[in-house]
Amino acid sequence: MKTKTIIALTISLLASQAFVSCVENDETAIVNCKVTIKNTFPEVIPADAKIIDGKATFYETNSGTTYARDLNSEEDLMLPVGLYNVEARATAEYVNPDELTVEKNIRASASAVVIQADTEISLEWFITMESSSFIFSEMYHTGSLNAAGTGGLYDHFFRIYNNTDEVLYADGLGIAESSFTNTKTTTYEILTEANDRNVNFTAQAIWVIPGNGTDVPVQPGESLLIVDQAIDWSAQVEGALDLSHADFEWWDDNPRDTDNPEVPNLEKWYSYSLTIWLTNNQCTKSYALVRFPEGMTSTDYLANYRGSFDYISAIGTYMTNDKSYLIPNEWIIDGVNLSNKEQWLYGALSPQIDISYASISDIERDPNRFGWKHVRRVASTAPDGRKTLLDTNDSATDFILKRAKE
Amino acid sequence: MRLILTRLIITVVAVLSSLSAMGYTLRVTVFDDAEDEPIVGASARLTRGEAKLASVSDADGVAVFTKVSGTYELVVEFVGMSGYKQKVSISKDTEIVVKLADGKALDEIVVTATESKGATSSSKIGTEAMRHLQPSSISDVLELLPGGVSTDPKMGEANIVHLRQAQPVSSSENPDYSTDALGTSFVIDGVPVNTNADMQRVSSSQSGDNADRSTVGKGVDMRSISTDDIESIEVIRGIPSVEYGEITSGVVNIKRKEGVRNLEARFKADMQSRLFYVGKGFKMPTDGWTVNVSADYLDSKVDPRNTRENYKRLTGSLRSLLKRPVGAFELSWNSSLNYSGTFERDRNDPDLTINNTVDYYESNNNTFSFNNTLVFTPDKSRRLPTFTFTQGFSYAVSDLHREKTVASSRIYPLPVSMEPGPHYVGYLPMLYLANLDVEGRPMTAFARFAAQYRANTGILGHRLKGGVEWNFSKNYGNGQVYDIARPISAEMTSRPRPFKDIPAENQLSAYVEEMMTMKLGEHQLELMAGLRETQLMNLSSDYYLSWRPYIDPRVNFSWRLQSLMVASQPMRFEFAGGIGQHTKMPVAAYLFPDPIYRDFSQLNYYHNEERYRTMNVMTYVVDPTNYDLRAARNLKWEARIGADYRGNSLSVTYFRENMTDGFRQSGFVERYVYNAYDASGFDPYAVDRAPTIEELPYVEEVRQRAETQTTNGSRTLKQGVEYTLKTRRFPKLNTVITINGAWLRTVLDNSQALWYKPTVVVDGKELQYVGLYDDTDGSTYESFNTNIMFDTYVPELKLNFSIAMQNVWYTSSQRHFLTGVPSYYLDPDGVIHKFTEESASDPQLSNLIRHYASAAFDENRVPFASNINFKATKKLFNDRIDVALYVNRILSITPEYQRYGQTIRRHLSPYFGMEINFKI
């Protein structure tokens, strides 16, 4: 849904005093409306597919109340008046051209749905993909408390995990940070087609693991620790992490950055700034793990994927950004949207890559967020102890928050 | 035209024929009481019953009535001056001297600015207008100028002046277009305020630390000028006399109260501040000697809920005026000793701070000045010049203190070398308390010797003025004083420099001006033409500006037409116009900028073992001085039409000002070479020590950067129409309607091609190409407003109230079209190439293309908004007590509007204040 539509709908919701044919409960003054669902399936699923085990959660953003509803229920779907974010998952059952009955796991989401009268909600379903690759298993972007306890340190890191049962090579793998912010602070409508999140991921910084293709093997269930400064932070500030034995650090050619000679550096393909690249400690950006096409060099990439874009800002001014590059969605092997609950608006990643977001806190700039990291849940543990991590392209489900320092 | 002439002839004939053939001659000489100069063009009328006679004063200020006898009522009026009304009996040839004072006419209270009737456009604001406005500082007074609307006081930031500008440039935005404010001269009792040595700021690229409180390169902070001692303010918007120098835009000419006065006290409170004032004028035992003392205190909370951020002002002055004859002259010696203190504080709330961290800002400024003006006025009988000697001296003790707990978020290597070359550097600690002081001691001195001579030749009156002026400024402060190893912000990279190392700025100017008045029948012609020459002395000969003379010619003329009788009342038209050049020399901070320090990492070895850690940087010290810096010059012209009829007046001015060489921070390319040492083959464990650069292999690295220096690259083009229509006080209703406003159009853009390098890292290195862009920025701003003010005076109640409706019909801003494509680029070897289509597809060069949405050049138009302001003053107890209150935006009409499908709503809240004045 486009931003301007959201705003227009919000306004009309707030302005409207007349509720049409909704059921009013006199005692509580809650007005319930009947909601019908219109299903739209992706091309491979025929329109007459049957939905089984359909479950939807309706999150009312003003009250913060969540309503769970069964999509296969015989009863009418009733919901109180409000502004909703909808998450739905189901299995689609249909008969394919070979006359075989097929079941596919499908998911859908919709944001800023206004219910103020009996409403039809359109759900665009898509098939969920299961990953068999490297994934982000941990992310630490808040940092441990600094020496005065006033803010976070940059003992940030990414942990990249081999979630398969075979050896994978991490060289050439890219980590990209979104240009777009996922929160309401910079509400905007992107006007340039190439920057549509369903086509390309718009990145403002791209770092790549060096190597010739087989230099950085990662065993199944093993991971790489990639940090800003490979430093024993705990020796500097009590309670911080020891990252001196990281696998890689992102070093900026800047006299104010440090370089650990024992930890190799990432290659910096692109950055929107000359300053030291810092991951945003408010956790409002998205990160993607990128497998560039075979043989693609930085020069090839930089020559062909510039991603300048136009947008309308929250205050109604036309803006441009010419410090961005495009990453086609097909190259992305994993991605995570980050946000806080208060300001979540819209993910920079395609919903097929991440349908939700990993939340850092209920409120923006929560001073208590420091010291917390995002950790992926374990889906299963093999007899040899190797863990398979949960990857349902739904970061809200896949990730939990844990203390960075146990 | 022919019709007018015919009417003129008929009028003249009618007046002549009505005169009786017998009688005496009455000569009325009209003087400006304050200036002690004859007033040209004052209207004098004699009435007796139905009989009316009219005359206009000539170049000597003389209005002549011939063949009159008996008792008449004599009325003398001149716009902007108090009127004169007296019964006269004429039984012989009579001479009457009428002295008119500034300000109100008979029984008249003027609560608005008065448009001047002189050759240049200016607004005069008197005591009554200020009392009605209830200002806290002079920045509130600017509301009265055409185009001005009421704004809330902004006591948390420097208030800089903007005349005739569609988009007020705030102190923090658009620093590249602040020359206009810098080039507005504030003259207090004949002595200009010199801000050339102001360098009070925290220079830190990262912290942006209180940048909006600094006035370096922005002229006078209007918050610091109190209004209570002010008798009148004249804001010259048009082309000022060549007496005034160091200007590009205009002059704010402030005259303070003098002479014997009652004890006056004022207490004012508004939503942000409280103000106290007390002042008195004494008569001293010696004849002709008066002394005025006054003091004023303002305590302002930037946000009334926050007691920790405030702005205080304390001013005091002792002024003496001594008049006595010296030979053939009368000496008027004006001497003043002044103090002005401003105290700003901003600290964090101890109850809210985490772990007792400190964040404290304090800026105290104590300015002392001692000024003298000696005027030698010759006896009326002698044909001698008037000599004026003016001396000004000021010294300020400015101390900015910053204290902050700095908790570093990273391990920062800390290059601190003041010398170029390779250096080993240490690391910033993770927690420390940082202190920073900015110690400014600007001293200014001013001296002017001026002479003025009047002569009449036939129908021509001449007034010749000439003068020599010397302006000095130097800062004797120590500048930023801090421990370079414990900077106020961890990211800070600047290094200290004492202000006193910067040479003094010495300026010598001379001017000569002729004002010619001609009386052709009842037509009055006035022509003022002058030249001003200025140069900077004792500047090193490397500078273009060293002894470089600048000549400002300025011409103003006006033509007051003979009165037309309309419904047996005179109507007068006036045409006026002028053209002039204006020059402002750069301030010390522009002429002698701080050196730029750049460090490049040569060896970065943050080993896990602390004893093996080392870091080496190559330090460059770049001098960004622009020896080719020129003065900023503004060419202005304007044309005005004015009309007066039955006490109603109309004035419409069109102006155009074009300054193409305003000061700007522009890029220049600097090339840096250093060695990148490769320590990968070094085994610290084998030798048990850190590596040194001497033992390591290296490759030479080159970096090109676009650094900034002050240039003359900003253009400010101002155009507009200013209008004021003021009615007489309607009888019965006792109401004056004043309609004023302006249509203003301001273009701000770069006037020179600029070097720019996008701050991006491409393929592991910061972009090594620098682009030369013809169009880097530029916007057009427009605004159109009309203020309608009804002010009513009820003499029975001694109550004066006004309702002002301030309509802003629209404001708009529009960016100029930019291609975003550089015309040339500099490659890493320092060679300039043309930017071609091929370049556009190069992975590195394509990053030089700046992308703009086509809609970014759409006009952003904000539609109609209107505010209603209410003000009232009432006099009590034989005028001994004056109470006043005001409410701005008691009602505001701000319709919502659409922009790109979004509904934009505007909300304005009222602002109010009240005060009480005592006169004992």
CA gyration radius, chain B? 32
Whether B759 contacts chain A with CB within 8 A: yes
**Neighbouring residues of B485: CB distance < 8 A, sequence distance ≥ 6:** B414, B416, B426, B428
User: CA A234, CA A241: separation in Å to the nearest integer?
Assistant: 5
- Token match 């049409």: residue? A20
Place B204 in a pLDDT band, splitting at 50, 70 and 90.
Answer: low
Pick the closest to residue A76 from A29, A32, A20, A18 (CA basis).
A32
Contact B730, B811 (CB under 8 A): no
Q: What is the pLDDT of residue B119?
A: 76
With beta carbons under 8 A apart, name residues in chain A contacting B682: 261
Question: What is the overall mean pLDDT for chain B?
Answer: 87
| CA distance linking residue A317 with residue A321, whole number of Å | 13
Q: How confident is the model at residue A143 (pLDDT cuts 50, 70, 90)?
A: very high
Distance from CA of B608 to the nearest CA of A (A): 6
Burial class (CB in 10 A: 0-12, 13-18, 19+), B214: buried
Interface touch A258/B407, C-beta < 8 Å: no
Structure tokens at B385: 């010049």
Closest CA to B261 of B283, B236, B280, B234: B280
- Whether A3 shows a pLDDT value over 70: the answer reads no
Of A151, A252, A319, the CB nearest to B409: A151
CB contact under 8 A, B761 and A319: no
Burial class (CB in 10 A: 0-12, 13-18, 19+), B445: middle
Residues of A in contact with B408 (CB under 8 A): 146-147
Residue B58 CA to its chain's centroid (Å): 35
Does A305 lie at the interface with B, CB-CB under 8 angstroms?
no
Tally of CB atoms within 10 A around A80: 18
Residues in CB range of B268: below 8 A, 6 or more apart = B134, B136, B274, B275, B276, B913, B914, B915
Separation in Å, CA of A394 to nearest CA in chain B: 32
CATH 2.40.170.20 fits B115-919, yes or no: yes
Q: Do B355 and A237 touch (CB under 8 A)?
A: no
pLDDT digits (tens, 9 = 90+) for A63-103: 888 888 888 888 888 888 888 888 888 888 888 776 777 77
| Whether B425 contacts B391, CB under 8 Å | no
Q: Which pLDDT score is estimated for B18?
A: 47
Contact residues on chain B for A150, CB-CB shorter than 8 A: 354-355, 357, 405, 407
B173: confidence class by pLDDT, cuts 50, 70, 90: low
List chain A residues with CB under 8 Å of B615: 258
Is B604 within 8 Å of A257 when comparing Cβ atoms? yes
Categorize the per-residue pLDDT at B4 as very low, low, confident or very high, splitting at 50, 70 and 90. low
Q: What does the alpha-carbon distance between residue B504 and residue B197 come to, in Å, rounded to a whole number?
A: 8
- How far does A258 lie from chain B, in Å, by closest CA? 6
pLDDT score, position B255: 92
Q: Do A149 and B354 touch (CB under 8 A)?
A: yes
Do B407 and A321 lie within an 8 Å CB cutoff?
A: no
The residue that leads in pLDDT, B98 or B743, is B743
What's the residue count for chain A? Answer: 406
Chain A residues within an 8 Å CB radius of B858: 318
Facing residue for A274 by CB, picked from B410, B761, B820: B761
- The CB-side HSE value for B583 (13 A sphere, CA atoms) comes to 21
H-helix or E-strand containing A303?
helix A298-304
CB-based contacts of A106, cutoff 8 Å, min separation 6: A41, A45, A89, A90, A91, A92, A125, A126, A127, A128
Residue window 403-422, chain B: list those with CB within 8 Å of chain A.
405, 407-413, 415
Considering the entire predicted model, what is its pTM?
Answer: 0.79
For chain B positions 319-338, those within 8 Å of chain A (CB to CB) are none
Dihedral angle computed from the Cα positions of residues B46, B47, B50 and B53, in that order, rounded to the nearest 10 degrees = 10
Cα B614 from Cα B30, distance rounded (Å) = 85
| pLDDT tens digits, B635-652 | 999 999 999 888 889 999
Q: Is A242 within 8 Å of chain B by CB? A: no
Residue A275's closest chain B neighbor by CA?
B759
Tell me the Ramachandran region of residue B308: left when phi exceeds 0, alpha when psi lies from -120 to 50, beta otherwise: alpha
Q: Assign B412 a pLDDT band (cuts: 50, 70, 90).
A: very high
Radius of gyration of the CA atoms of chain A, in A: 23
Query: How many interchain CB pairs under 8 A, A with B?
Result: 171
Residue B681 has pLDDT above 60, yes or no: yes
Of B411, B842, B904, Cβ closest to residue A229:
B411
DSSP bridge partners of A95: A101
User: Average pLDDT, stretch B361-388?
Assistant: 89
Check CB contact under 8 Å for A303 and B410: no
Q: Which of A150, A270, A299 sits opposite B761 (nearest CB)?
A: A270
Interfacial A residues in 352-381 facing B (CB < 8 Å): 367
Q: Which helix (H) or strand (E) holds B140?
A: helix B138-141
- A176–chain B Cβ distance below 8 A for any pair: no
**Is the Cβ of B431 closer than 8 Å to some Cβ of chain A?**
yes
DSSP B759: -
Q: With a cut of 90, say whether residue A124 has pLDDT above it.
A: no
- Architecture category of domain B2-100 in CATH: Sandwich (2.60)
Q: Kindly report, residue by residue over B206-265, the tens digit of the pLDDT.
A: 344 566 777 888 888 888 888 888 989 999 999 999 999 999 999 999 999 888 888 999
Q: Is pLDDT at B602 greater than 80 in this prediction?
A: yes
Interface of B with A in 664-723 (CB under 8 A): 679-680, 682
- pLDDT of the residue at B16: 45
Residue B212's SS3 state is helix
Report CB contact under 8 Å: B679, A267. Answer: no
Mark which residues 467-496 of B lie under 8 Å from A by CB: 491, 493
Structure-token match 């927690």, residue found? B431
Helix (H) or strand (E) holding B5: helix B2-18
Q: Is A318 on the interface with B (CB under 8 A)?
A: yes
A187 pLDDT tier (thresholds 50, 70, 90): low
In order, the DSSP letters of B824-858 are: EEE-TTS-EEE--HHHHTSTTGGGGPPP--GGGGS
In this predicted structure, the answer to whether residue B60 has a pLDDT above a threshold of 80 is no
Residue with structure tokens 């277009």? B177
Report the percent of chain B where pLDDT is more than 90: 48
User: For the residues B190-212, what does the mean pLDDT come to?
Assistant: 72
Looking at chain B, which residue has its C-alpha nearest residue A262? B607
Alpha-carbon gap, residue B743 to B165, rounded angstroms: 10
**More confident position, A32 or B35:** A32
Q: State chain A's maximal CA–CA distance in angstroms.
A: 72
Q: Which of residues B366 and B259 earns the better pLDDT score?
A: B366
Confidence of residue B793 (pLDDT cuts 50, 70, 90): confident
B796 pLDDT above the threshold of 50: yes
**Both structure tokens of B319:** 């002024």
Q: What is the pLDDT of residue B350?
A: 61
The residue extents of the domains of chain A are: 3-127, 134-403
CB contact under 8 A, B354 and A257: no
Residue B202 reports pLDDT greater than 90: no
Task: Select the residue of A232, A244, A253 nearest B601 (Cβ to Cβ).
Answer: A253
**Helix (H) / strand (E) containing B438:** strand B431-440
B172 to chain A, minimum CA–CA distance in Å? 20
Task: Identify each DSSP E strand in B127-202 by its residue range.
Answer: 184-188, 191-192
Per DSSP, B107 falls in state T
Within the 185-214 window of chain A, which residues sit less than 8 Å (CB to CB) from chain B?
191
Is the pLDDT at A18 greater than 90? The verdict is no
Comparison of pLDDT for B831 and B213, the residue scoring more: B831
pLDDT at A20 over 90: no
Q: Is the pLDDT of residue B583 over 80?
A: yes
Closest approach of B765 to chain A, Cα-based (Å):
7
Q: How near does any CA of chain A get to the CA of B606, in Å? A: 5
- Measured in angstroms, the CA of B621 and the nearest CA of chain A are apart by 15
pLDDT digit string, tens, across residues A307-331 = 888 887 766 677 788 899 999 999 9
By the 8 A CB rule, do A281 and A287 touch? Answer: no
Mean pLDDT of A359-367: 89
Residues B698-733: pLDDT tens digits? 999 999 989 999 999 999 999 999 999 998 888 778
Contact B430 A316 (CB under 8 A): no
**Overall average pLDDT of the A144-172 stretch:** 92
Residues B888 and B153: their CA atoms lie apart, in Å, by 12
Q: Which residues of B590-612 are buried (b: 16+ CB within 10 A; e: fewer)?
A: bbbbbbbbbbbbbbbbbbbeeeb
pLDDT higher than threshold 80 for residue B50: no
Of B430, B605, B851, the CB nearest to A261: B605
Query: Do B852 and A320 count as a contact with CB atoms less than 8 A apart?
Result: yes
Partners of residue A39 on adjacent β-strands: A123
User: From the centroid of its chain, how far is CA B635?
Assistant: 17
Residue A16 has pLDDT above 70, yes or no: no
Grade residue B907 by pLDDT with cuts at 50, 70 and 90.
confident
> Nearest by CB to A298, which of B410, B763, B899?
B763
Write out the H or E segment, with its range, that includes residue B463.
strand B460-475
CB within 8 Å: B763 and A299:
yes
Q: Please report which helix (H) or strand (E) contains residue A15, including its range.
A: helix A3-15
Give the C-alpha separation, A117 to A82, whole Å: 10
Query: Stretch B130-140: mean pLDDT, rounded?
Result: 87
Distance from CA of B685 to the nearest CA of A (A): 12
Per-residue DSSP letter, A265: B
Beta-sheet strands, E only, within A165-308: 168-169, 173-178, 189-190, 200-208, 217-218, 223-227, 248-249, 267-271, 286-291
B336 closest CA partner among B365, B368, B301, B312? B368
- The pLDDT assigned to B515 comes to 92
pLDDT at position A1: 42
CA distances (Å), origin B201, targets B159, B212, B402, B496, B843:
15, 10, 11, 12, 41
Query: What average pLDDT score do residues B194-203 get?
Result: 82
Residue A260 has pLDDT above 80, yes or no: yes
Nearest-angstrom CA–CA distance, B316 and B298:
12
Interface test with A, best of B403, B603, B606, B611 (most A CBs within 10 A): B606
Enumerate the β-bridge partners of residue A183.
Answer: A344
Instruction: For B496-519, write each residue's pLDDT tens digit.
Output: 889 999 999 999 999 999 999 888
| Minimal CA separation from B900 to chain A, in Å | 6
Residue B78 reports pLDDT greater than 90: no
Which H or E element spans position B452? strand B442-457
Residues sharing a CB contact under 8 Å with residue A64, sequence separation 6 or more, in sequence order: none
- Is A313's Cβ below 8 Å from some Cβ in B? no
Q: What distance in Å separates the CA atoms of residue A329 and residue A350, rounded to the nearest whole number?
A: 8
Which amino acid, residue B231? E
Q: Give the pLDDT score at B662.
A: 93
Q: What was the pLDDT predicted at B106?
A: 43
- The per-residue pLDDT for range B617-626, each reduced to its tens digit, is 999 999 999 9
CB-closest option in B408, B617, B903 to A11: B903
pLDDT of residue B578: 94
pLDDT on residue B184: 93
How far CA B89 is from CA of B25, B77, B93, B190, B449, in Å, comes to 12, 19, 11, 41, 45
At residue B13, the pLDDT reads 44
B605, pLDDT greater than 80: yes
pLDDT at A156 over 60: yes
Alpha carbon B748 to its chain's center: 18
List the CATH code of the domain at A3-127: 2.60.40
Cα distances from A287 to residues A137, A141, A320, B596, in angstroms, run 12, 11, 21, 36
Asked if residue B791 lies in contact with residue B869, where contact means CB atoms within 8 angstroms, the answer is no
